[in-house]
Amino acid sequence: MKEWTLFLDRDGVINDRIIGGYVQKWSEFVFLDGVLECLPILARKFNRIVIVTNQQGIAKGLMSVNDLNKVHAEMLDVINQHGGRIDQVYFCAEHERENPPCRKPNTGMAIQAKLDFPDIDFDRAIMVGDSITDIEFGIRMNMKTILIETKPDIDKVKLAAIQDKIDYSFPSLYLFAQHLNNIL
């Protein structure tokens, strides 16, 4: 599995999603149960682990890029302290109405990851996310897709339309990590 790359969404996969809001500072960031325990397992199994996250709270003026970078620095520090590893964090700060190339489901963050890490092979990559746009992002790049079922406000009609393209669903990143050997 060491030739595989793991793409992770952030909110709803690594940390608690703030419904209708954004994690604007470190004190609002709460790791989901089991995440710190499973990231070391994933670090041993994957060549690359990257986070790809839409963060339009910046475009809305609710936080700055510097605020987001501080949250990510703290997050990475805690993950490293627990034996985990994230090789890079990519984010899209633009508003969804602008439909920028970097905003999932568009593939700009995946393309940037490939530029930064030329060894990434999207046929040997997994996208793990809690939203339809995460799954569509993975599909567009020919990745395996994993839906983490933590988003209570997911659009059930849109989900039904792509259900057959979701490779696996799990209630948490921790359970995905526990079943990884059965997936690959």
Q: Which residues are catalytic?
A: 9, 11
Q: Is 11 annotated as a binding residue?
A: yes
In 46-105, alpha helices (H): 65-81
- Classify strands 125-129 and 88-92 as parallel, antiparallel or unpaired: unpaired
User: Of 138, 131, 127, 136, nearest to 155 (Cα)?
Assistant: 131
Does the annotation list 38 as a binding residue? no
Cβ neighbour number for residue 20 with a 10 Å cutoff: 6
Determine if residue 92 is labeled as part of a ligand binding site. Answer: yes
Helix extents (H) in the chain: 35-45, 65-81, 108-116, 132-140, 156-162, 173-178, 180-183
Query: 9 labelled as ligand-binding?
Result: yes
| Residue 150, CB-side half-sphere exposure with 13 Å CA sphere | 25
Cβ atoms of residues 29 and 78 within 8 Å: no
DSSP state of 4: -
List, as residue ranges, the binding site for Zn(2+). Answer: 92, 102
Q: Which residues are annotated as a binding site for Mg(2+)?
A: 9, 11, 130
Q: Which residues are annotated as a binding site?
A: 9, 11, 92, 102, 130
